[in-house]
């Protein structure tokens, strides 16, 4: 498994990754194994209990990494869902300002979910190159968000932009060594339409706006189930879906 890093940028467009080849590392799989979860097209495939556990795993993993004596030991037994491979992003926000504090993830399903959540959580808190590492005291002031991703689905040139659903779809744009990703929550947060979402993803990849119109540029869509804390260490809720 090659190891590269994907993280959200702290620009206004947020919630995405850009991977110009000189700066980004990308987490991918040499085996080409497909994830085991179905695509999400309306019906949730993770329960609220699963989502709450994923968020708790993220917080516990960072607490342990920071030497917090109150952090629980790693859970030995997890539900079967957490042994399936699935892409995931973990994001930390300052509370209550909701300012980005770190976000790193595995866009492809290369690790069992439980392991991917723990690794992404620690990396987002301690290794996001845009921020200083989170401290144990600061962790108590941050809220955790976990986005569980579905497999990528190609969008043919003839289906662009019509094949993009704002609020449901996240996007990946690829051209040669350049790659950009925006999570589904970006467009609603920014008030974008589908063409603006495509343009924004191109910019994440270091490409010109409108590059998605070229048949030489690959575009993929995916969905995400998003679970977040209402307050640091507090109740976990499912983010509302589009419409």
Interval 193-220: pLDDT, tens: 999 999 999 999 999 999 999 999 999 9
Q: What is the CA radius of gyration of the chain?
A: 17
d(CA 159, CA 88): 26
Task: Go through the chain and tell me how many residues it has.
Answer: 243
Q: What are phi and psi of 102, to 5 degrees?
A: 165, 145
Q: What are phi and psi of 224, to 5 degrees?
A: -145, 140
| pLDDT higher than 90, residue 17 | no
Answer whether 16's CB lies under 8 Å from 65's CB: no
What would the two tokens of residue 92 be?
């930390």
Q: What are phi and psi of 133, to 5 degrees?
A: -60, 145
Question: Residue 239's pLDDT is what?
Answer: 86
| pLDDT higher than 90, residue 31 | no
Domains of the chain: 33-150+224-238 (3.30.700.20), 153-221 (3.30.1490.150)
CA dihedral 201→42→96→82, nearest 10 degrees, is -90
DSSP 114-164: HHHHHHHHHHHHHT-TTSPPPPHHHHTTEEEEEEEEPPPEE--GGGTTTT-
Closest CA to 159 of 186, 194, 204: 194
Read off the pLDDT band of 16 (50, 70, 90). Answer: low
pTM of structure: 0.79
């Amino acid at each position: 498994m090659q190891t590269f890093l994907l993280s959200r940028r702290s620009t206004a467009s947020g919630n995405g990754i850009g991977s110009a080849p000189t700066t980004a590392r990308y987490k991918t799989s040499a085996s080409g194994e497909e994830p085991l979860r179905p695509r999400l097209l309306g019906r949730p495939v993770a329960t609220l209990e699963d989502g709450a556990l994923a968020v708790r795993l993220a917080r516990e993993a960072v607490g342990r990494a920071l030497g917090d004596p109150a952090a629980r030991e790693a859970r030995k037994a997890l539900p079967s869902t957490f042994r399936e491979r699935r892409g995931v992003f973990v994001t930390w926000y300052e509370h209550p300002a909701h300012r980005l504090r770190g976000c790193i993830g595995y866009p492809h399903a290369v690790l069992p979910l439980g392991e991917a959540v723990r690794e992404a959580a620690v990396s987002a808190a301690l290794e996001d190159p845009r921020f200083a590492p989170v401290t144990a005291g600061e962790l108590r002031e941050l809220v955790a968000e976990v986005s569980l991703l579905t497999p990528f689905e190609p969008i043919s040139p003839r289906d662009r932009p019509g094949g993009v659903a704002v609020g449901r779809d996240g996007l990946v744009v690829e051209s040669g060594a350049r790659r950009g990703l925006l999570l589904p929550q970006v467009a609603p947060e920014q008030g974008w339409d589908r063409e603006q979402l495509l343009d924004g993803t191109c910019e994440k990849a270091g490409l010109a706006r409108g590059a998605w119109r070229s048949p030489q540029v690959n575009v993929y869509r995916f969905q995400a189930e998003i679970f977040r804390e209402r307050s640091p260490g507090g109740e976990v809720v499912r983010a509302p879906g589009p419409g």
